[in-house]
Amino acid sequence: MKYVKVGFNEIERGLFSQFIRFQKTTKVWRKTDNTWRIIDDTFVDDWDEKHYQKVIAFLKDIVIKGGVVFGAFNNGILKGFSSVEPVLFGRNNEYLSLPYIHVSEDMRKKGIGKILFQLSKDWAKEHGAKKLYIAAHPAIESQAFYKAMGCVEALEYSLAHIEKEPLDCQLECIL
């Protein structure tokens, strides 16, 4: 596996031609009455063409603004990616956001996400952040990954992130 920064011109539909976003969720973490609980909620995430175009535009925008996109490549084929936005936020301007970290379904549980997460953490720290902010998918499997990476519930919630994905779990990771 080769891990590299992905350049603006490389972020196009062909990059994702063999990337499988598929994720079936049956249980999620939800916070009700200030208590976290696991509840049943079955749904499938499987990006369609419109969603891929949205992701591509978002990633290009991150790079234009000075952020970073990392890719994990197996024989030249994208099998994982992460991104970090470049603008510090929060009361103390200590957060940088990790809007995307995904591993292709056919390559999960091989440590790829862990390496992408560490690369993202290192980049965020080098760019002045004290914490990485993650509006994370609520699936129990996704949450287990973030917990293993040292993430905890964010001390300060970002309203912009909540408005975008109200059911996500708001997490932070100290760098």
DSSP structure string for 108-134: TTSSHHHHHHHHHHHHHHHTT-SEEEE
Average pLDDT over residues 51-61: 98
Can you say whether the dihedral through the CA atoms of 133, 135, 136, 138 is positive or negative?
A: positive
pLDDT score recorded for residue 90: 97
CATH class of 2-174: alpha beta
Q: Taking CA 102 as the corner, what is the angle to CA 90 and CA 171, rounded to the nearest 5 degrees?
A: 30
pLDDT score recorded for residue 175: 97
Return mean pLDDT, the chain: 97
pLDDT score recorded for residue 129: 98
pLDDT score recorded for residue 106: 97
pLDDT score recorded for residue 95: 98
Annotated domain spans of the chain: 2-174
**Which residue has tokens 């994702």?**
16
- Region class of 93: left (phi > 0), else alpha (psi between -120 and 50), else beta: left
pLDDT score recorded for residue 118: 98
Average pLDDT over residues 127-151: 97
Task: State the pLDDT confidence band at 147, using cuts at 50, 70 and 90.
Answer: very high
Average pLDDT over residues 66-80: 98
Structure confidence by residue, pLDDT tens digits, 2-55: 999 999 999 999 999 999 999 999 999 999 899 999 999 999 999 999 999 999
Task: State the pLDDT confidence band at 67, using cuts at 50, 70 and 90.
Answer: very high
pLDDT score recorded for residue 162: 95
Average pLDDT over residues 104-122: 97
- % pLDDT > 90, the chain: 99
pLDDT score recorded for residue 153: 97
Q: Are strands 2-5 and 23-32 parallel, antiparallel or unpaired?
A: unpaired
- % pLDDT > 70, the chain: 100
